[in-house]
Amino acid sequence: MTAGLPGLLQIGAFAPEIQAQIDAEFARVHLDDFARDPSAAASIRAIITRSNLAVPAALIERLPALEIIATNGVGHDLIPLDVAARRGIVVTNTPNVLNAAVAELCVGTLLSLLRRLPQADRFVREGRWRSDNFALSTSLAGKQVGIVGMGRIGKDIARRLETFGVLLAYHGRTDQQLAWRYEPELLRLARDVDVLIVVAPGGPDTEHLIDAAVLRELGPQGCLVNVARGSLVDQQALLAALEQGGIAGAALDVFDGEPEIDERFFALDNVMLTPHIGSATRETRAAMAQLTLDNLRSWFRSGRGLTVVE
C-alpha cells in the first residue's frame, strides 16, 4: 500500500483506465488479498464496490477507520445502510448517469418480448422463412402499461413509452402528481394493465412485491418486465405462472441468485432473458465508474460525497 494515500478496500473489478486512477490516487488493497492478509484493516478509510456485490456488515465492523462506501451502481440493497449510519459512514451511489441505458433496455426487451424478436431471428437463421410465415405477434401501441416504482428510471421509461402510444399508470409509495395516473392499489394496477414494469429499489421493503396474487391479477394476457432486482418478484410464483399460462410472458434482466439462475427459465418460449445488462453500455459504465471515483475524491477533498444515499 502506497504511504500517504487514503487506504481503500476494493470489491470487484473495474476497467483498466479506472483501475489506473484508483491505484494512482489511493492506497488500494483488493478484498481477495485482504481476506488473506487483513493487516491493513486499521488504515482502510474507504470501500469502492459494485452494486451487484455485497458489502457484509461483518466486513464493515472490521474496518475501524472506515468513512465512506462508494458503490458503482444506483442500487444499494447489498449494503447494510443501518450499520453504516450507526458508524457515521457515508454511502454514495451513481444515480442518473444510468437512467437512459436502463430505460432503453426496458423498452428494448419489452418490444422483443411482444414482437418475439429472438424467435423471429432464429426463424430466419434456420431457413424456415423459405417455407413458412412467422406467426403474428402483438403490438405495443395501444397497450395499458403499469410502472411499479416511478423514480428517476421509472420516469425515463414512461417518457420513452409515451412515444409508442401506450396508456400509462404507475404505483409507488406516493402520488407524485404526475401526468400519468397514480394507482395506490398494486393489485388493481395489475388488473388494469397489459404490461407491468418493475423498476423499484431492491431490499426488505420490496421483497416479493410481485407475488402470486399480483400475477393472477395481471392475467393470461398480461406481461411482466423486471429491470430492478430479482428480489422484487416471487420467482417460484412467476415460473409457475409462465409455465401454466397464468401470464402471457416476461422480459427479465434480473433474477434470484444471479448469475446462477433457475434453469426452468431456459425451457420457456414466452420469456426474454438478459444477464443484468440494464446499465451495461460502454458509455454508461464509464460514467458510473467516473462518478464513483469522483465521490471518493470529493469526500477526501471536502468531506462531502457528490451523490450520497440518504
Query: Looking at beta carbons only, is 96 or 137 nearer to ligand 8YV?
Result: 96
From the list 132, 173, 134, 131, the residue with the least C-alpha distance to 154 is 173
Beta-bridge mates of residue 224: 196, 250
Between residue 121 and residue 140, which ones bind ligand 8YV under the rule CB under 6 A? none
Burial label, 28 (beta-carbon count in 10 A; 0-12, 13-18, 19+): buried
From the list 180, 166, 168, the residue with the least C-alpha distance to 138 is 166
Q: Which of 30, 258, 283, 304 is catalytic?
A: 258
> Segment near ligand 8YV (CB under 6 A), from 35-43, 45-53, 184-192, 238-246?
45-53
Q: Which of 10, 18, 49, 51 binds ligand 8YV (CB under 6 A)?
A: 51
251 secondary structure, DSSP code: E
Interaction between residue 18 and ligand 8YV (CB under 6 A): no
Query: Looking at beta carbons only, is 202 or 222 nearer to ligand 8YV?
Result: 202
Interaction between residue 98 and ligand 8YV (CB under 6 A): yes
> Segment near ligand 8YV (CB under 6 A), from 44-52, 167-175, 182-190, 261-269?
44-52
Interaction between residue 171 and ligand 8YV (CB under 6 A): no
Q: Is 276 a catalytic residue?
A: yes
Q: Cα 103 vs. chain centroid, distance in angstroms?
A: 11
Residue facing ligand 8YV at closest CB distance: 73
Q: Which of 276, 283, 297, 304 is catalytic?
A: 276
Q: Is 229 a catalytic residue?
A: yes
Interaction between residue 49 and ligand 8YV (CB under 6 A): no
Q: Is 116 a catalytic residue?
A: no
Amino acid found at 213: A
Q: How far is the CB of 202 from ligand 8YV (least distance, A)?
A: 8
**Owner of C-alpha cell 437512467:** 99
Specify the DSSP element, H or E, that contains 79.
Answer: none
> Segment near ligand 8YV (CB under 6 A), from 108-116, 237-245, 276-284, 295-303?
276-284
Distance, in Å, from the CA atom of 34 to the CA atom of 41, rounded to the nearest integer, reads 8
Interaction between residue 172 and ligand 8YV (CB under 6 A): no
Interaction between residue 74 and ligand 8YV (CB under 6 A): yes
Interaction between residue 50 and ligand 8YV (CB under 6 A): yes
Whether the CB-CB separation of 79 and 91 falls below 8 Å is answered with yes
Query: Looking at beta carbons only, is 27 or 210 nearer to ligand 8YV?
Result: 210
As a residue count, the chain comes to 310
Distance, in Å, from the CA atom of 73 to the CA atom of 288, rounded to the nearest integer, reads 7
Handedness of CA 140, 143, 147, 151 (dihedral sign): positive
Distance, in Å, from the CA atom of 294 to the CA atom of 307, rounded to the nearest integer, reads 10
From the list 291, 305, 294, the residue with the least C-alpha distance to 68 is 305
Q: Which of 28, 50, 229, 285 is catalytic?
A: 229
Distance, in Å, from the CA atom of 177 to the CA atom of 137, rounded to the nearest integer, reads 35
Q: How far is the CB of 178 from ligand 8YV (least distance, A)?
A: 23
Query: Looking at beta carbons only, is 29 or 74 nearer to ligand 8YV?
Result: 74
Interaction between residue 52 and ligand 8YV (CB under 6 A): yes
Number of H helices, E strands in the chain: 11, 12
Interaction between residue 109 and ligand 8YV (CB under 6 A): no
Which residues are tagged catalytic? 229, 258, 276
Question: Which residues contact ligand 8YV (rule: CB under 6 A)?
Answer: 50-52, 72-75, 98, 276, 278-279
